Amino acid sequence: MSREDKEFARTTMTWWTDLKQLIRNGDSDGIKSMLSQVSVADIRDDHDSNLLHYFTNTDNETIARQLIEAGCDINLKNRYGETPLMTAVESNNLKIAKLLLDAGAIHLNTNFIQEFGPLHMAVWYGFKAMVQILLDAGADANVIDDEYSSPLHLAANVEPIPAQPCLVPGDNKCNYDIAKMLVDAGADVDAVDYQAISPLHWAVMRGNYDVAGLLLDKGANADVMDDNFVTPLHWSVRDQNIEFVKRLIKAGANVDMVDCHGMTCLHYAVKARFDGMVWLLLSAGATPNCTDGQGYSPLHWAVREESLELVQILLEAGADVNIQDDQATEGLSALQVAAELGLKDIILLLLSHGADVKAKCNRGCSVLYYAAMCKRINFHVDDELYVELLRLLLDHGAEIGDSSCSVKTSFDSALLYWNEQAVRLFIERGVDLRKCILENSKSSSLYDAALNNGKGVLKLLIDSGHLNIEQKYGSGLTALHLASFWNKFNCVKFLLKRGANINNNNVFGETPLYSAIQNGHAESVRLLLTYDADVNVKTTRNQTILSAALKTSRQDIVLYVVRHIAKVEAQQLRVEQENLRLIASFEDLHDFYEKCRTELALMEGSYIHGTITFFDILTARDIGKYARNEHVVRTFDTVDLSEYFPIYQDLLIERFDKEMKRQGLMKQAMAGLSRILRCDADTFHVLFYNVFHYLGTKDLRNLVDV
């Protein structure tokens, strides 16, 4: 740009700035003086606006008229596509707008951006008088913008533009008056925009029920559907306006119309838990057994909304109590849904109306199965309610073996929550534990129970006598494998006490000890070694127990294994050479191993009484006779074993204390048996001890309780 052009631009900008200031000050003489300096027909500001654009913001009708007479273009568009008429409408300047219209200003929508013309703008801003001026000037009440919206569409939309809050929020009077003006001017009440939305749709969606009533009075179609098949009745129900719903029904609205989701008005009313609306729609003939796009009937939704009242209303209106949803993978009845959600009162109501307690879904799962799984869905179902639900269904005829579900049986599902009362209930009702095998995972009831760290469920299953504690599943896993793998310590301990084979291996040659080591479960590893788990086994990958321990980087586990290997060697039993090679290859392990051997040798040479050594206490299969020796007992009471045997003292104390407790229990049981046989316990104590040696803790306690 040349210096001359820059100077001209600066001078022009200054001129417009000065003119704006004079307009703001209302200085008519100053304005006339400035206008005399330029060609009013040709001058433009940097936005390509002419002088008429500026004077539409003033009430100076005289100057505006003079500008028009001087040839100022009344239809000139500035950079933003605005004509002087548009800026006059936007400013709600009635005088200037009328002056421009009288002078021939174009008001057709095609002359404006997005075909949003003066009438649309006046309606959008809620300028009633401006709307009337435009209509009087011949503006078409049915003119549409590029989205096919007419001015009546905008009038039905009551939300004011925040930048121009011409309407008081919630005050629909202005829009009602404008809507009436447009209708009286011939506006089509059933016109639809590009989404097939009518003015009636908009009025109801925005809660502008005065306008909606006007449109109905003027003959608007009450069943008009938009592109989503939504009717004004759908919107009114969703807005919970029961009075206007009555008006639409009176106007002939179809209460069973479905939207793109397959939802009827009754579906929406039920989902909203609006009892009064549900009654109204049913009274108007709404079908209670229609299903939506998800295959749910209103009864299904009433159950899912956990509304006992709505379930009652629908059943009394003729809803099919056994209707199943249309989903290909489910096909649930209302009773199955109620069972899945753990809704006791609704279950009772459905059963009282004839719900089929033996109904199955498309997967073959029964009502009882869904009840057994309810804690997965509803976290508010406590253990007590859980058992009540199962008992309720069983009492009403549900059969424990009535599920052909490919996923789980009812009993398998109940096992997931390790509820002892529920398991006991199933056992009392005759569940066949041998058939509770899941084909997809090759699991079993015993297998599932081993996942629980509480031994109660596991004990119930084993005590039932129907399960083989050594049964293998899948890749050859036993219950002890699983409990060891997941570090379910109480289950590991219980299974070992019940005689589970501690060295059972799976198809990969992995024992329960290997499973516990592999997952870094030190507590279970120590327990399994206490029960003399074999440390010499190798997996099919030729991996030893010690090599598995070394891979865990858990020093405590490694040391447990090494001290056990030393104990095995001291008993002159076979030791896997690979384990010894690994020990020798690590200096710290070798040092620890030598300390173990030294300590074990000291035990063998340390006599407690007579020929009894500490090594005997550590390794003898039966130490009952040692626990009955008063010299041995006194030694364990007085000697600090950690001073002499720091590596093995925990095993010595644990083993001796355990046997002392058993001896005390045997003594009490002996007294109980003496009372039963009416004989002197001291006379027959040798015989009694020989018998009691074969009894378990449970049997001994039973004798104590006699």
The per-residue pLDDT for 677 is 66
Query: In the numeric block, which tokens belong to residue 257?
Result: 């119309």
The token duo for 310 is 């709505």
Round to whole Å and give the CA distance between 18 and 43.
15
CB 398 within 8 A of CB 368: yes
Give the type of residue at 436: C
pLDDT at residue 59, as a whole number: 77
Interatomic CA distance for residues 644 and 628, integer angstroms: 23
| Rounded alpha-carbon distances, angstroms, from residue 138 to 96, 119, 133, 188, 537 | 17, 10, 9, 16, 101
Distances (CA, A) of 261 to 37, 237, 291, 376, 647: 68, 15, 10, 28, 72
Q: Residues near 484 by Cβ (< 8 Å), separated by ≥ 6?
A: 492, 512, 513, 515, 516, 521, 524, 528
The per-residue pLDDT for 442 is 45
* Per-residue pLDDT tens digits for 321-351: 999 987 655 899 999 999 999 999 999 999 9
CA 100 to chain centre: 62
Q: Are 479 and 510 in contact (CB under 8 A)?
A: no
Residue-level pLDDT at 453:
62
Amino acid 6: pLDDT: 45
CA-CA distance, 449 to 305, in Å (whole number)? 33
Helix (H, G, I), strand (E, B) or coil at 403: coil
How is the chain split into domains, by residue range? 605-704
Quick one: which H or E segment has residue 427? helix 420-428
Question: What angle do helix axes 94-102 and 128-136 make, rounded to 10 degrees?
Answer: 10
Determine the distance from the C-alpha atom of residue 545 to the mean position of all C-alpha atoms in its chain, rounded to a whole number.
42
Q: Is the separation of the CB atoms in 562 and 583 below 8 Å?
A: yes
Q: How far apart are CA 670 and CA 190, in angstroms?
A: 98
Q: How many CB atoms lie within 10 A of CB 342?
A: 25
pLDDT under 50 in the chain at which residues?
A: 1, 5-6, 9, 160-170, 437-442
CA distance 670 to 653: 25
Query: Would you state the pLDDT for residue 441?
Result: 44
Count CB-CB contacts under 10 A for residue 665.
17
* Token code pair at residue 639: 């000697």
pLDDT, tens digit (0-9, with 9 covering 90-100), for 344-396: 999 999 999 999 999 998 888 899 999 988 988 888 889 899 999 999 999 99
Amino acid at 513: L
With residue 611 as reference, give the H or E element that holds it.
none
pLDDT, position 182: 97
- The pLDDT, as a whole number, for residue 362 is 87
Strands 443-444 and 612-613: unpaired
**Cα–Cα distance between 461 and 468 in angstroms, integer?**
10
